[in-house]
A and B are shown apart, each in its own frame.
Chain A
Amino acid sequence: GIQVEQSPPDLILQEGANSTLRCNFSDSVNNLQWFHQNPWGQLINLFYIPSGTKQNGRLSATTVATERYSLLYISSSQTTDSGVYFCAVTGGTSYGKLTFGQGTILTVHP
C-alpha cells in the first residue's frame, strides 16, 4: 500500500516563529488532508489539498502531486498551535482508506 512519511518528527519553536512541515508519499493520491490533533485526541481538519496551494489565516499548504510531497506552513506560531500534525492520503487502489503519516509533534513555547 501507499507509504506516508512526515518530517520532522518533533519541532520546538518560540512563539512568533515560522515553520514548515513536510509530507512525502509513495504513490499518486486521490485525496490529501492535513489535520491537527488536539490534546483531547480530536482531529481538526486543516486542509483538503490533493494538489495546488491553499491558505487559511496563518496556515498555508502546498501539494506537488507530480513530485509526491506536500508542505504545511505555519507562520507567527502561537502556543495554541502546539499538538500533533498529521498528513493523510488516499491513493493507489483505495478511494476510501486514509493512510496517515506518523505525525509531527509541534511544541510552541511562550
Chain B
Amino acid sequence: DTGVSQDPRHKITKRGQNVTFRCDPISEHNRLYWYRQTLGQGPEFLTYFQNEAQLEKSRLLSDRFSAERPKGSFSTLEIQRTEQGDSAMYLCASSLISEQFFGPGTRLTVL
C-alpha cells in the first residue's frame, strides 16, 4: 500500500520567489488536505478538497496561496512572492472517509 507522497521534500528559496509543492494521495482516497506546521507548534489546517472541489479554506490561506486538485487525484500548493514567515513544514494528508493519513511533508526555507 503506497502512502501519501510529497515532492519536493525540501525547498530553499529567496524571498519574493514563487514555489509549488505537489502531493499524491493514497490512490483510492477522495479527500485531500493541506496543513502547515511551524517549529514547536501543531499542524494548522490550510484547505481541503473532496475530489476536485475545494470545500474549505482557512483564513491562513492568504491570496498569495493557491491550491488545486484538477482531476481529483494529485494536488499542488503554490505560494507566490514568498516571505520569510512562510518558512514552515507543509504537510499533505488524504482520507477515504474520516481518518487522515499524512505524507512526509515539504520543508520550506525562505531566505
Contacts and interface: CB of A to CB of B under 8 A. Distances in A.
A88 interface: yes
Nearest to B56: A96
A30 B104 contact: no
Contact of B101 (A40, A41, A45, A100): A45
A41 B56 contact: no
Interface of B is mostly: strand
A97 B42 contact: no
B89 A96 contact: no
Contacts of A74: none
A86 interface: yes
Interface string B21-62: 000000000010101010001111100101000011010000
A51 interface: no
A41 B104 contact: yes
Contact of A96 (B55, B99, B107): B55
B105 A41 contact: yes
Given A30-B98, A31-B98, A31-B99, A42 B105 contact: yes
B106 to A, nearest CB: 10
A86 B42 CA distance: 7
Interface in A1-48: 30-31, 33, 35, 40-43, 45, 48
B89 A98 contact: no
Contact of B104 (A42, A88, A94, A103): A42
Interface string A42-73: 11010010100000000000000000000000
B42 A103 contact: yes
Interface of A: 30-31, 33, 35, 40-43, 45, 48, 50, 86, 88, 90, 94, 96-103
